Structure 1
Amino acid sequence: MTTFSELITSIVADLDQGGFFKDADELRHLANLALDQTLLAGIRRDALKQIEMRCHVRWFGDFYLPHLSQKDWWGRLEKLGKSTKKHMQSI
């Protein structure tokens, strides 16, 4: 099973490869906040909510990534969304 961190790393790489550098940096930053155990739980949960919102087909799902089919891209986003929800429950 793929971990939250591995999914983030993979999707950040996909965004970078597709030329969506600003979005990749934002996602990387949010993931760092979400995973930082020294931060307050509220800050970490807010970062996870921001990540979850980006997994929607009308946000990151709208991006065209030439190296992935739309089905594969949406599948990755769906996995990240589910993993984000699961991670949020552990905080």
Structure 2
Amino acid sequence: MKISELLIEINYHLRQAGFINDADELKNFCNILLDKKLAADSHNAILIEIAMRCHVKWLGDYYPPHLSQKDWWEKLENLNRATKKHMRRI
């Protein structure tokens, strides 16, 4: 799954759970990543910001009621792995 697809999926779950500010923030990050004119340094900085949010003490602290904790953490881990993979390609 592409990083943008993962961001959209997590954004959806955050919105469903009422975490609108965090969802908006991830949506902005996704829009920035899709900008083909973005410099590599800026691209990496956004990826780092996204990866930091995948931590158990950030978005992992949230519990969307429609997902199990295991499913939520798995989604965040998938996003974290995707950001690191994307950074290695830049």
State the Cα RMSD in Å: 0.8
Identity %: 52
* Number of corresponding residues: 90
The answer to whether the aligner puts 1:89 opposite 2:85 as a matched pair is no
Distance 1:88 1:35 in 2: 14
Distance 2:50 2:35 in 1: 15
Residue 79 of structure 1: aligned partner: 78
Query: Which SS does the other structure have where 2:77 is aligned?
Result: helix
Query: Which SS does the other structure have where 2:13 is aligned?
Result: helix
Residue 9 of structure 2: aligned partner: 10
**Contact 1:55 1:80 (C-alpha < 8 Å) held by counterparts:** yes
Distance 1:54 1:12 in 2: 12
Residue 60 of structure 1: aligned partner: 59
- Unpaired segments ≥5 residues, structure 1: none
Distance 1:33 1:42 in 2: 13
- Unpaired segments ≥5 residues, structure 2: none
**Contact 1:12 1:24 (C-alpha < 8 Å) held by counterparts:** yes
The aligned amino acid for 1:48 is: L
Taking structure 1 as the reference length, the TM-score comes to 0.94
Distance 1:36 1:45 in 2: 13
Structure 1 segments (4+ residues) deviating >3 Å? none
Query: Which SS does the other structure have where 2:45 is aligned?
Result: helix
